[in-house]
Amino acid sequence: MSPEFLSKPLRSPETGSGSGRGGDAEKPARKLNNLRGKMRDSAYLPSFNEILEAFDLEKAVRKPAFERMQKVWEVRPKFTEFLREQGILYEFYNQEYVTELGTYLVRRISEIKQETGRLPTLLEVGAGDGRLAHFLQEKIQSLGEVNCSVIATDSGESGHAAKFPVEAIDYKDALAKYKPDVVISSWMPMNTDWSKDIRMTESVQEYILIGDDTVTGSPWKTWGNASEDEEESEEEKPPFERDGFSKTYHEEMQKFQIPHHLDFNHVTTASFTRKPSSERLSEGLAEETAKKNLEEKREALQHLALFYNIQDGMIEANLNAVSENLKRQDMYTTEAQEKIMTEFREAFTEVAEAALAQDTSLYTAFRYFKALGREDKIRERVQKGYPTIDGDHNFDLLRACLEYGTDAQAESALREFLKGSSPKYTILEQLQETRYFKERLEIIERAYNQFAQQSGLRNLPRISHAASKIDLINAAQELRKRNYNLAIGVMRSGEPLAGLLDFLGQRTRYVEWHRGWKKQPTWRNIGSNRLRVKQAKSILLCEHDTETGATLRALIPFLQSLHPDKVDISFWIDYHHRNERRVKESGFYNEQFLIRDMPLASLIENVNATVEYARSRLHPPEGNNNNV
């Protein structure tokens, strides 16, 4: 699979075709030194052409294969040494590749969200230093259409130091913990197949493999490519196909991949997508139906239908697809088709009705009735009485309580759920779309946005990384309990939390400073900042994250002038390791807080207290005659 750029001229969006003299005649050695300097910033992502030009490869890739390989052999030692300097093991990621992969993921996120009604979970296994997950997260967020976190995990066995947040956990444990919808594996270890465990994880709708398909993982077991070294490759169907997945190669991404060995012919990106249950069913159904009559087939039909549709949660869509599939096969009479579809529907209805009578099986019933368009059944059951939520489990049941139950039922279910031990921040993003939270957030946002408009602040932000509006409101109330004399918001970046604290009555001021600004930090006259601040014994600094640490260092003399006994700091974005390191290096700040990690024990009380306060601030004031 030879990339397109091997046969087509390259043109860089910044530098043109690379021909002629002047700026483009700059020697590769100087360009390599420039690239080396930029790469000192771990957050810098070079362009595709910038990398090729630094190693004098932009012309070589357009030459015939033999001449191209001569240049590659010449450059490879220098290229390998450069990657070693940068701590890059296998692939040199670039802007164009991340853009193509990020754009594809945004589309898949939207499709999965439309199918399931929730934001999907994206997991990278074997993430190494976390570089790919970091840049994908930035790209997904910059596209603005959806906002979904990319969770980077790695066992740490390779000893590759993390430059970005990476959770130390084995890939199997990560699959069990996060139950991802989409899994990314870049350069899977040689002769080791993780794909089987990924496919056997029921939540996984798609996984993406990146790397050399001749050496990463197993050519047959992982990629489904026939190999003389693997006896299994003589089987008729590759493993991914037998497990109900289809494979797609992405040439639009492949053409921007730069592997460590510079063998462009083998490096690739492929996605493996779980087939719809109707398609999986029909594949095994066609052969057997020709042999057995409908009566003999009844039990098998029900079993397969229930198994696959519980997994996918798209019963109605699958039934329609099965019906169309039966017609296309042209091996059933119209009467036979109708009987098969009737049996499918009857099977779903029987199971859903039976599950509805048992508290332990309500989540199954709710998934069936929702898929069949009978949400009235869910509402009716929830309002009859509070179904028990078992700690971390039964998320669908919890969401049903928050959507259809009374406020008392919703809060009881939420309290039970919060007793569990699993991370809640990914869950809160989805729960804030339920009736219980939407009604409350609507009141809070209206009041806060009035305040923001009068004060020159921004409105409450959209979900950012793993922090939701619920997290933000909970964190503001928890931090108010610490009785700081003063909260200081770093302009723009720390404004979301500082603005909310200001709105809630916390004494709050705003300061401006950012990298590249030559001035000293300066008070900004926004929000309630109308008086000069002379002294504050305890200060909370609200910041976005520590991109370089420069802001933290620059603010130290400014904060010292207030003569505080202590200064704590809160962060909006979840760069655990980087934040912790920068704060420690400063030697000044006492404690640090991450919005999404604030205690959730008082979440309900914090949200409702904010609602009541917001009502009192609305103009004109709003009474208590609504549902909240």
Bridge-based pairing state of the strands 522-524 and 508-512 = antiparallel
Distance of alpha carbon 521 from alpha carbon 488, whole angstroms:
12
Both tokens assigned to 80: 């390998």
pLDDT for res 292 = 44
Task: Kindly report, residue by residue over 266-315, the tens digit of the pLDDT.
Answer: 899 999 999 876 555 555 554 444 444 444 444 444 444 444 443 334 45
pLDDT digits (tens, 9 = 90+) for 499-536: 899 999 999 998 888 777 778 888 887 765 555 677 78
Q: Are the C-beta atoms of 79 and 262 separated by less than 8 Å?
A: yes
Q: What percent of the chain has pLDDT over 90?
A: 34
pLDDT above 70 as % of the chain: 71
More confident residue, 563 or 391: 563
Q: Strand, helix or coil at 490? A: strand
Q: Is the dihedral of CA 532, 534, 537, 541 positive or negative?
A: positive
Decide: 143 and 104 in contact? Cβ < 8 Å: no
Q: What is the pLDDT of residue 628?
A: 57
Instruction: Report pLDDT for 422.
Output: 55
- pLDDT tens across 177-194, in order? 999 999 999 999 998 999
pLDDT at 67: 58
Whole-number mean pLDDT of the chain? Answer: 78
3-state SS, residue 138: helix
Instruction: Identify the residue whose tokens are 């933000």.
Output: 472
- Tell which wins on pLDDT, 143 or 1: 143
pLDDT in tens, 442-451: 999 899 888 8
Write the CB contacts of 250 (distance below 8 Å, at least 6 apart in sequence).
100, 101, 104, 268, 269, 270, 271
Cβ-contact 92, 51 below 8 angstroms: yes
pLDDT for the residue numbered 487: 93
The residue among 497, 585, 577 whose CA lies nearest residue 540 is 497
Contact status, residue 258 vs residue 57, Cβ threshold 8 Å: no
pLDDT of residue 477: 95
Which amino acid does the sequence have at 255? Answer: K
Report pLDDT for 310.
37
Q: Residue 82: what pLDDT? A: 93
Question: pLDDT by residue (tens digit) across 314-336?
Answer: 455 555 555 665 555 554 566 76
Taken in order of first residue, the domains within the chain and their CATH numbers are 4-86 (no CATH), 95-275 (3.40.50), 279-354 (no CATH), 444-617 (3.40.50.2020)
Higher confidence at residue 346 or residue 418? 418
Contacts of 86 (CB under 8 A, 6+ apart): 39
What is the arithmetic mean of pLDDT over 168-174?
A: 94
Cβ(236)–Cβ(258) under 8 Å?
no
Convert 541-600 into a string of H (helix), E (strand) and C (coil). Answer: EEECCCCCCHHHHHHHHHHHCCCCCEEEEEECCCCHHHHHHHHHHHCCCCCEEEHHHCCC
pLDDT digits (tens, 9 = 90+) for 219-258: 999 999 876 555 554 456 899 998 889 999 999 999 999 9
In whole angstroms, what is the distance from residue 381 CA to residue 395 CA? Answer: 16
Nearest to 240, CA basis, from 215, 211, 218: 218
Q: C-alpha dihedral over 301, 306, 312, 314, to 10 degrees?
A: 80
pLDDT in tens, 23-71: 444 577 899 999 999 999 988 999 999 999 999 887 766 665 555 677 7
The distance from CA 310 to its chain's CA centroid, rounded to whole angstroms, is 24
**What's residue 613's pLDDT?**
95
Longest distance between any two alpha carbons in the chain, whole Å: 89
Please determine, for residue 83, whether its predicted confidence score (pLDDT) is greater than 80: yes
| CA pair distance 163, 130, nearest whole angstrom | 6
